[in-house]
Amino acid sequence: MDIATILLELGRGMLTTLQIFALTLLFSLPLGFLVCFGRMSRNPVLSWIIRIYIAIMRGTPLMLQLIVIYFGPYYIFGLSTSPAYRGIAVIIAFSLNYAAYFAEIYRSGFGSIPKGQYEAAEVLGYSRTRTFFAIILPQVFKRILPAVTNEVITLVKDTSLSFSIAYAEMFTEAKALSAAVHNVGPLMAAGLFYFVFNFLVAYVMELIEKKMSYYSI
């Protein structure tokens, strides 16, 4: 197997990894807000349902969740799935899992805001909506950015768990290529990709944090 073929296969896997990463963030970040608000709801039934969901997502391995979501429709409901469902199952599992983690990060951010800021905004005549978007949310974003950065970096590495349902992302391709050429070169190349990508993620998040540094904490 020549170098061009190896690079082509790794590149294909890299694109799949980037797709998993981007789609997971696209769905899990906003879903995390919905889960967060449900968790903080004054409705005890909704709050406890969300607590159970978060406990399951954080208390069981992501690999197990991938397997359940992929094989569940067939073994639980007797439904046949198309080959395309493999990729869909990956995005569903990752999004549901990371939404639970993001929800708890968001909740900690909202909980760290002093109640006096809500009261001061009310005295100044701010509506609840304006208070939330103009005063509270910018501070929450600033406070949770380090924790969100850690989860995003973890997500980059967790994409390799897609191999558990035979979804060929970069790490899966690298393992197969290493077995084919009988050396660890492809695995080292994959490791370098993860390192560089995580470095870029951390750099971008740091830039965002610096731009928001004018908000008082």
**Could you report the per-residue pLDDT of 70-118, keeping only the tens digit for each?**
999 999 889 888 888 999 999 999 999 999 999 999 999 999 998 888 8
Q: How far is Cα 208 from Cα 194, in angstroms, rounded to an integer?
A: 21
Question: Quick one: tokens of 43?
Answer: 């409705």
Confidence (pTM): 0.90
* Contact (Cβ atoms closer than 8 angstroms) between residue 175 and residue 163: yes
Q: Is the pLDDT of residue 38 over 60?
A: yes
What dotted CATH number matches 3-211? 1.10.3720.10
**Residue 212 Cα distances to 18, 122, 202, angstroms:** 27, 24, 15
At residue 214, the pLDDT reads: 58
**Residue 92 Cα distances to 26, 70, 85, 99, 162, angstroms:** 11, 9, 10, 10, 12
Q: Is the pLDDT of residue 217 over 50?
A: no
* Contact (Cβ atoms closer than 8 angstroms) between residue 1 and residue 181: yes
In percent, how much of the chain has pLDDT > 90? 56
At residue 1, the pLDDT reads: 65
Q: Is the pLDDT of residue 183 over 90?
A: no
* Contact (Cβ atoms closer than 8 angstroms) between residue 44 and residue 59: no
Query: Domain residue spans in the chain?
Result: 3-211
